[in-house]
Amino acid sequence: MAKDPGVGYKIHAVVTSMQGECNAGHAVGDEFNLSCHNPDGMCGYCYHHIFPALSTFQFGGSYPWWHGDTIYQVCPDPRVQLTLKIDRSTRE
């Protein structure tokens, strides 16, 4: 596993909703401490899909439709519609 150098904001994600059954076994309430170096057990398809937003968010960037330190991302599987609430906070 790659060593996480601990740079940027800390990222915490929670599965907030989904329809159907996730093929990777994720469920509402699952939590992940993500970074650009660590998927923390998240399905590779979902991690790959959210990675561009994750890297922007982790290093302090934003898009015009993002407000504050919370964003929402959706898994690419349209059957499941798994939604992640992703928060960033400063490193301690």
pTM for the structure as a whole: 0.91
pLDDT in tens, the chain (92 residues): 677 888 899 999 999 999 999 999 999 999 999 999 999 999 999 999 999 999 999 999 999 999 999 999 999 999 999 999 999 998 75
- CA 47 – CA 14 distance, rounded (Å): 13
CB contact set of 48 (below 8 Å; sequence gap of 6+): none
Q: Give me the pLDDT at residue 22, please.
A: 95
Residue spans per domain, the chain: 10-89
Q: Give me the pLDDT at residue 4, please.
A: 81
